[in-house]
Amino acid sequence: MLQISNDLKNAYPGGCIGAIILKKIQVNLAGETKLQEEKLKIEANLRNQYLGYARADLALLEPIKAYIDYYKQFKKTYHVLLQLESLIHKNKSIPSINPLVMVMFMAELKNFLLTAGHSLDAIQFPITVDLAKGTEQYKLLNGEEKTLTSGDMMMADKLGIISSIIYGPDSRTRIGQNTEDIIYTVYGPPGISEIRLRQHLDDIHHYIQFITPNVLLDEFMVYRL
């Protein structure tokens, strides 16, 4: 399902990659209400737990620190840290959007792990997890064409790039309103444990069950680099 390149293993030994495939998702109104309630609980817990934390304090939390170390080599800031800071200090909320995307944002902010979601029907397997050479191009969710940054972690199916750490997921495989089968993937730079990543995928599965109790868990994968 996922093929990990030797180049990636050599560049980031000790990192990990995870993915979960969920099928037969049927969003219902009652389930969306339950999901909204869970979202509010996550936000309240984060505000209570990290009240008074400055950005420097949040940056020391694991696994945020592992991502900061990764992003620093590309002179970038980990966006989940910025989102957490906005939620705590500016009372911002997790966007109430497509519930399949909201599930991903909820788990990201709860666990601080970088996640991408894709419509399974748009994927042509296998997915290769590789080290970017810096020449590959793909179209982002906002329609912008981007060239990958050399040394970044990336994923590609038979048709092209589907995500990278620095620039995020592509537009071709984006989750739509009618998506019923989905794959969520997680990038874990060195310093992030497999146990933490597995718990994150479990949380995603749990949140999906709010909107589709009978969702089919098709694949659950964690790979150590």
Task: Quote the CA–CA distance of 8 and 3 in Å, as a whole number.
Answer: 11
Residue 201: pLDDT over 90: yes
The DSSP letter of residue 111 is H
> How is residue 128 written in tokens?
């290769």
Residue 130 CA to residue 141 CA, distance in Å, equals 21
For 90, residues 6+ apart whose C-beta sits below 8 A from its C-beta are none
Q: Indicate if the pLDDT at residue 204 is higher than 90.
A: yes
| The pLDDT of residue 94 | 93
Q: What is the pLDDT of residue 28?
A: 87
Query: If residue 80 lies in a helix (H) or strand (E), which one and from where to where?
Result: helix 79-89
What pLDDT band is residue 30 in, cutting at 50, 70 and 90? confident
Is residue 132 pLDDT above 90, yes or no? Answer: yes
Cβ 16 vs Cβ 222: under 8 Å: yes
Average pLDDT estimate for 19-32: 92
Q: What is the CA radius of gyration of the chain?
A: 17
Tokens found for residue 28? 């219902």
User: Which domains are seen in the chain, by residue range?
Assistant: 2-224 (3.50.40.10)
Over range 172-192, report the average pLDDT.
96
Q: With 90 as the cut, is the pLDDT of residue 217 above it?
A: yes
User: What does each C-alpha distance from 58 to 81, 110, 120, 122, 165 come to in angstroms?
Assistant: 7, 13, 34, 36, 20
Confidence class for position 29, pLDDT limits 50, 70, 90: confident
User: What is the percent of the chain where pLDDT is above 70?
Assistant: 100
Q: Are 188 and 16 in contact (CB under 8 A)?
A: yes
pLDDT category of residue 192 using cuts at 50, 70 and 90 = very high
Q: What DSSP string describes 60-78?
A: TSTTHHHHHHHHHTTT---
**DSSP classification of residue 173:** T
**127 within 8 A of 137, measured Cβ to Cβ:** no
| pTM attached to this predicted model | 0.96
What mean pLDDT comes out for the span 184-202? 97
